[in-house]
């Protein structure tokens, strides 16, 4: 058994506990095995050491959130606790240490599933990580969050985001506009993720000054990508030659995160996917890790998980 006395310094009791202790009750439900006694600015917590330490970590996250945004709603508390306050909930799903960045409008961006946390852990240990799985498993979103965190922590000088410009049943040539306007729809999911994580004015600054670069895969040829967090999204639509070209762009101080879904290859039937080849060739190379995501990682609408299960059962 362990006991700690925690003193609130940067947040008032009413802001933390809520009206009628509504937010404090969420905390108590999240930690049903702990004895939590809150009186004014002092919180006494007793229980297993691991649970006590995790409670303190959650408290620090809540305080940091309040200091950044000037408020702490019940919804924010629930997000920090993992989106659930059920007694006996899965501790893995509610680890406060999974918070990657605080996004816009108080959005809390964190690894929310077991395999998303594996991506986070792996990129800390390896310079090249492949995250492979079906739609809706948070591959791209987690990757972009990791890149933004690395930039904010000054671990890298720039972020480079790229995708193959491959048509998914539509003809690129018939889209209106110039080349950028034709290509932007393919890159939109990357813009969407950045919009969640970086203030609009800051994002414009980053893009205009090429601190964040978003470009089709073909534009990577001939470059050396260094001091950067580099993401290749939709890698299943890179040809074998394109993927080899991309992987060999890696500079000595770079992190590469490659995402893809091998069940949704949009290349012509005679053109093998470079991602599938890489899974076979690079699986045992030291410094490279492959993370497989599945239906249990789907965090979109509940129907998405059911749709994936039906198609997988074909």
* Tens digits of residue pLDDT in 250-292: 999 999 999 999 999 989 889 999 999 999 999 999 999 999 9
Q: Does 44 score more than 80 pLDDT?
A: yes
> Quick check: is 101 in a domain?
no
> Quick check: is 289 in a domain?
yes
CB atoms within 10 A of CB 291: 23
Residue 185 φ/ψ, nearest 5 degrees:
-60, -35
What mean pLDDT, rounded, does the chain reach?
85
Q: What is the mean pLDDT of residues 97-123?
A: 82
> Quick check: is 85 in a domain?
yes
| pLDDT value of position 58 | 86
Is 126 found in the same domain as 68? Answer: no
| pLDDT value of position 278 | 97
Is 303 found in the same domain as 203? Answer: yes
Q: What is the CATH number of the domain that holds 18?
A: 3.30.1370.10
> Quick check: is 105 in a domain?
no
Tokens 């393919």 locate to 186
Is 118 found in the same domain as 60? Answer: no
Is 88 found in the same domain as 124? Answer: no
Q: Does 97 score more than 80 pLDDT?
A: no
The per-residue pLDDT for range 192-207, each reduced to its tens digit, is 999 988 888 899 999 9
Is 129 found in the same domain as 30? Answer: no
Sequence-distant contacts of 280-284: CB under 8 A, at least 24 apart:
282/130
Is 125 found in the same domain as 262? Answer: yes
Q: What is the mean pLDDT of residues 93-107?
A: 64
| pLDDT value of position 140 | 93
Is 220 found in the same domain as 160? Answer: yes
The number of domains in the chain is 2
Is 198 found in the same domain as 264? Answer: yes
| pLDDT value of position 84 | 38
Domain end residue (candidates: 94, 123, 139): 94
Is 241 found in the same domain as 118? Answer: yes
> Quick check: is 72 in a domain?
yes
Residue predicted with more confidence, 50 or 248: 248
Domain that holds residue 9: 2-94
Chain centroid to Cα 145, Å, comes to 4
288-292: strand order across its sheet = 212-216, 158-163, 228-232, 254-260, 128-132, 288-292
Confidence of residue 47 (pLDDT cuts 50, 70, 90): very high
Question: How much is the pTM?
Answer: 0.70
Is 241 found in the same domain as 130? Answer: yes
Domain end residue (candidates: 94, 123, 143): 94
> Quick check: is 303 in a domain?
yes
Q: What is the CATH number of the domain that holds 294?
A: 3.40.50.300
Is 140 found in the same domain as 28? Answer: no
Q: Does 94 score more than 60 pLDDT?
A: no
Q: How far apart are CA 61 and CA 94, in angstroms?
A: 12
Is 135 found in the same domain as 6? Answer: no
Pairing of strands 128-132, 158-163: unpaired
Best mean pLDDT range from 93-107, 119-133, 165-179: 119-133
Q: Which of 4-8, 65-69, 131-135, 150-154 has the lowest mean pLDDT?
A: 65-69
Q: What is the mean pLDDT of residues 95-113?
A: 72
> Quick check: is 141 in a domain?
yes
> Quick check: is 226 in a domain?
yes
């Amino acid at each position: 058994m362990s006991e700690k006395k925690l003193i609130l310094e940067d947040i008032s009791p009413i802001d933390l506990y809520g009206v009628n202790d509504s937010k404090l009750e969420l905390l108590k439900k999240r930690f049903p095995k702990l004895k939590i006694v809150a009186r004014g600015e002092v919180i006494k917590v007793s229980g297993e050491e691991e649970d006590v330490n995790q409670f303190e970590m959650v408290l620090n996250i809540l305080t940091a959130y309040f200091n950044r945004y000037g408020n702490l709603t019940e919804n924010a508390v629930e997000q920090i606790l993992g989106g659930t306050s059920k007694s006996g909930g899965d501790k893995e799903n509610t680890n406060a240490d999974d918070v990657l960045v605080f996004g816009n409008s108080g959005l809390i961006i964190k690894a929310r599933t077991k395999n998303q946390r594996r991506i986070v852990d792996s990129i800390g240990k390896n310079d090249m990580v492949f995250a492979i799985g079906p739609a809706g498993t948070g591959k791209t979103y987690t990757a972009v969050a990791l890149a933004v965190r690395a930039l904010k922590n000054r671990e890298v000088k720039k972020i480079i985001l790229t995708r193959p410009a491959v048509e998914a049943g539509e003809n690129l040539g018939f889209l209106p506009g110039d080349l950028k306007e034709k290509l932007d729809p393919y890159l939109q999911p990357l813009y969407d993720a950045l919009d969640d994580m970086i203030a609009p004015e800051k994002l414009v600054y980053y893009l205009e000054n090429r601190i964040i670069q978003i470009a089709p895969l073909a534009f990577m040829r001939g470059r050396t990508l260094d001091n950067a967090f580099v993401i290749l999204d939709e890698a299943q639509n890179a040809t074998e030659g394109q993927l080899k070209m991309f992987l060999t762009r890696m500079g000595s101080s770079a992190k590469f995160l490659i995402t893809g879904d091998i069940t949704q290859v949009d290349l012509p039937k005679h053109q093998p996917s470079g991602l599938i080849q890489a899974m076979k060739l690079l699986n045992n190379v030291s410094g490279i890790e492959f993370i497989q995501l599945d239906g249990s990682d789907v965090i979109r609408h509940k129907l998405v998980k059911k749709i994936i299960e039906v198609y997988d059962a074909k």
